[in-house]
């Protein structure tokens, strides 16, 4: 079965084509175009305009790269949410148009669940992980329990990626700022105290951001501030992930989201996993960020398990929660 997936929840528009052969996920193409605001954060309508502008070209290029004719596509998937309304609507409209014109079924999927399933789909040894999903807008610890993907911990304010981007922007770094912060942090030698906020199983980053900006105004070494941000925020994330693993008695941990490509975060989580005798997995970088292939793959899993969706039912949901999805494709 060949599925084309459209991702457009926030800053990226992505189209991926995957081939499912008896449960094996083969990625034929996975193209992404990122909206980079000239100044400030993401403006939802401008991001949506960006996606609309580039959709047709990405679609064409993705089909070409996959060496797939549009008539060979069996299923169209798109991300129904969570995300920014105008962006979601743009991707959903394209998906509906494709579904109608190609006369192929349409399926809307949950973006966060897709991050987890692409890890399971592309890493055969990864079967039942606790996912630490760290992206721009989202930060969640997710695991399968009693028929659903449950959120065991999450941010109470901003996503970790958003925290890094906001700090970076205040220091005139280019979006996305995570990679630059990672690079600077490697040269950090001194740790500055920052708020380490864990409430129950949840984390919070706005206090840390305010304090980091305060150090920057005091003209402390930027390398040391970046180092301190990473050490503090990533330790908090590792701690709640470990607690979720202990609680659920799972022996695998998976990373997902754009921040998952950070070597320090990977190192901390891997050390924690090793100390627990658990296994650590991180998907390929282009599968960690928001991408169409993960949407396509979840579409396949849902479709094969019998889920069907009419155009009418394919409404977007900006606040589509991970645990709202009935997981019909797992025992």
Residue ranges binding Mg ion (CB under 5 A): 135, 290
106 versus 118: smaller Cβ distance to ligand AMP: 118
Backbone torsions φ then ψ of 154, nearest 5 degrees: -160, 175
Report in angstroms the alpha-carbon separations of 263 from 2, 121, 139, 258, 304: 33, 23, 17, 12, 36
CB of 187 to Mg ion, least distance (A): 29
Q: Are the C-beta atoms of 121 and 26 separated by less than 8 Å?
A: no
Rounded distance between C-alpha atoms, residue 183 and residue 222, angstroms: 11
CB of 285 to ligand AMP, least distance (A): 8
121 versus 136: smaller Cβ distance to ligand AMP: 136
17 versus 177: smaller Cβ distance to ligand AMP: 177
Burial class (CB in 10 A: 0-12, 13-18, 19+), 318: middle
How do 75-81 and 24-34 pair as beta strands? unpaired
CB of 12 to ligand AMP, least distance (A): 6
CB of 258 to ligand AMP, least distance (A): 2
**What percentage of the chain's residues is helix, strand, coil (to nearest 5)?**
45, 20, 30
108 versus 256: smaller Cβ distance to ligand AMP: 256
How do 2-7 and 75-81 pair as beta strands? parallel
CB of 35 to ligand AMP, least distance (A): 11
63 versus 185: smaller Cβ distance to ligand AMP: 185
Instruction: Tell whether the torsion through CA atoms of 225, 265, 182 and 31 is positive or negative.
Output: negative
Work out what residue 262 binds among Mg ion, ligand AMP, none; the CB cut-off runs from 5 to 8 Å by kind: ligand AMP
The tokens describing 92, both together, are 């959903």
Residue ranges binding ligand AMP (CB under 6 A): 12, 135-136, 161, 164-165, 176-179, 182, 257-259, 261-262, 289-290
83 versus 188: smaller Cβ distance to Mg ion: 83
Q: Which residues of 169-194 are buried (b: 16+ CB within 10 A; e: fewer)?
A: bebebebbbbbbbbebbeebeeebeb
Work out what residue 176 binds among ligand AMP, Mg ion, none; the CB cut-off runs from 5 to 8 Å by kind: ligand AMP
Of 189, 196, 190, 231, give the one whose Cα is nearest residue 211: 196
CB of 221 to Mg ion, least distance (A): 32
Work out what residue 283 binds among ligand AMP, Mg ion, none; the CB cut-off runs from 5 to 8 Å by kind: none
Work out what residue 165 binds among ligand AMP, Mg ion, none; the CB cut-off runs from 5 to 8 Å by kind: ligand AMP
222 versus 293: smaller Cβ distance to Mg ion: 293
CB of 256 to Mg ion, least distance (A): 7
């Amino acid at each position: 079965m060949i599925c084309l997936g459209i991702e457009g929840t926030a800053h990226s528009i992505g189209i991926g084509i995957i081939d499912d052969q008896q449960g094996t996920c083969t990625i034929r193409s996975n193209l992404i175009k990122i909206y980079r605001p000239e100044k400030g954060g993401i403006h939802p309508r401008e991001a949506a305009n960006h996606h609309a502008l580039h959709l047709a070209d990405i679609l064409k290029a993705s089909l070409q790269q996959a060496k797939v004719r549009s008539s060979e596509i069996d299923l169209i998937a798109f991300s129904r949410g969570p995300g920014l309304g105008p962006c979601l609507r743009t991707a959903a409209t394209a998906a509906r148009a494709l579904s109608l014109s190609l006369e192929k079924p349409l399926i809307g999927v949950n973006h966060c669940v897709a991050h987890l399933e692409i890890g399971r789909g592309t890493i055969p040894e990864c079967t039942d992980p606790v996912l630490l999903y760290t992206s721009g807008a989202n930060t969640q610890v997710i695991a399968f329990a009693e028929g659903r993907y449950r959120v065991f911990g999450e941010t109470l304010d901003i996503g970790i990626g958003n925290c890094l981007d906001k700090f970076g922007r205040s220091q005139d770094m280019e979006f996305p700022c995570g990679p630059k912060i990672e690079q600077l942090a490697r040269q950090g030698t001194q740790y500055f105290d920052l708020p380490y906020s864990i409430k129950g199983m949840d984390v919070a980053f706005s206090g840390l951001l305010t304090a980091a900006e305060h150090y920057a105004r005091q003209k402390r070494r930027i390398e040391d501030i970046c180092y301190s941000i990473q050490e503090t925020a990533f330790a908090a994330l590792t701690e709640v992930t470990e607690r979720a693993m202990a609680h659920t008695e799972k022996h695998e941990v998976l990373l997902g989201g754009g921040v998952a490509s950070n070597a320090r975060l990977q190192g901390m989580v891997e050390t924690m996993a090793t100390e627990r005798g658990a296994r650590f997995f991180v998907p390929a970088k282009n599968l960690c960020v928001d991408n169409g292939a993960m949407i396509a793959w979840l579409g396949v899993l849902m479709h094969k398990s019998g889920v069907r969706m009419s155009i009418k039912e394919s409404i977007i949901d900006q606040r589509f929660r991970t645990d709202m999805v009935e997981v019909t494709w797992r025992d």
